[in-house]
Amino acid sequence: MTDSDFQPFAGASALIFGGGQNIGRAIALEWARRGAKVAIADLNAEGAAVTAEEIRAAGGEAIGTGADVTSDDSVAAAVAAAEAAFGPLDILMNNAGILSGGNPQDIPVSAWQQMLDVNLLGQVRAINLVLPGMLERGRGHIANTASFAGMYPFACSRVHYAASKAAVLSYSENLALYCLPYGVRVSCLCPGPVMTTSVHGMKHFSESYEMRMPGDHLTLKSQEETAIVLSDGMRDGRIVIPTDELVWPTMRELAAGPDAFIAKKAAEFAAGNSGRPMVPAQFLKPA
Ligand SMILES: NC(=O)c1ccc[n+]([C@@H]2O[C@H](COP(=O)([O-])OP(=O)(O)OC[C@H]3O[C@@H](n4cnc5c(N)ncnc54)[C@H](O)[C@@H]3O)[C@@H](O)[C@H]2O)c1
């Protein structure tokens, strides 16, 4: 068996918060395809149930439950349900996230609090519950979803979101540093632009503002590609897993000179380039 044949998913007990739709759903389906038993927990309880049903219909093992990652009790109930169904967790994924936008001065503290409560503290709630068991067993894998918005500055149209994702990235990297000697792996999925419905119904705090995107050199990815990149990365023991390797030259440019990087980005925005990614033909609606 070569390293790339190693499959952490076969027979594993997995729980995905935020697996009821879009990227999380695609990850649940991909892990089930690789042999994991998957518990799906989501505020969208119906989506969680439907995703679980899809997995069972394809011959896999899955349960779907409603859960709110802002509630300690709800997170604990979802972990208990997953472990009752499939045994101690081998894999925990924290993918639940929210998105809203506006100019920085229009985003109220209450929106910051909600953003951090879901995107960051939702992950902390689940990890604090699950990590002790993984450390004791000397194995396990935690995966947290961040974003390109937490890696380099472009998302000035949603600073609270970007800050929450930067916090997720830092949390995940330091958690990996702590857990590695115990045999517990940590990965951080960093999606660039992915084709989902997450902007539908998004709350806007400013009457008018420009949506800023990560760069016109990037291409919109599918949910399925994202799930495969994450799963292969976890299999290979990667910690920071971007959906597009083109992020690394950008990160090097930022590290070489943050002030110049931000000045260049501001000039691009001023020239009318809002960083919108290329949209492959597969996503274009027929006219
Ligand atoms: N789509 C993109 O381009 C993109 C880019 C970067 C990062 N991301 C991140 O990827 C993840 C998935 O995003 P998506 O695009 O599939 O959007 P999405 O909105 O469909 O996914 C978020 C999921 O989290 C769930 N959720 C929200 N609040 C919750 C709560 N309080 N408790 C439990 N579940 C809750 C939603 O019901 C949904 O299933 C998010 O963390 C998002 O920030 C997405």
pLDDT digits (tens, 9 = 90+) for 223-265: 999 999 999 999 999 999 999 999 999 999 999 999 999 999 9
Q: Is the CB of 150 under 6 A from ligand 1?
A: no
pTM reported for the whole predicted model: 0.97
Q: Is residue 200 scored above 50 in pLDDT?
A: yes
Query: Of these residues, 152, 161, 178, 209, which one is catalytic?
Result: 161
Residue nearest to atom 38 of ligand 1 (CA): 18
Domains in the chain and their CATH numbers?
A: 10-282 (3.40.50.720)
Residue nearest to atom 40 of ligand 1 (CA): 97
Atom of ligand 1 nearest to the CA of 197: 20
Give the Å distance between the CA of 34 and the centre of ligand 1. 22
pLDDT band at 201 (very low <50, low <70, confident <90, very high): confident
Would you call 152 a catalytic residue per the annotation?
Answer: no
pLDDT band at 1 (very low <50, low <70, confident <90, very high): very low
Give the Å distance between the CA of 123 and the centre of ligand 1. 12
Give the Å distance between the CA of 27 and the centre of ligand 1. 12
d(CA 12, CA 66): 22
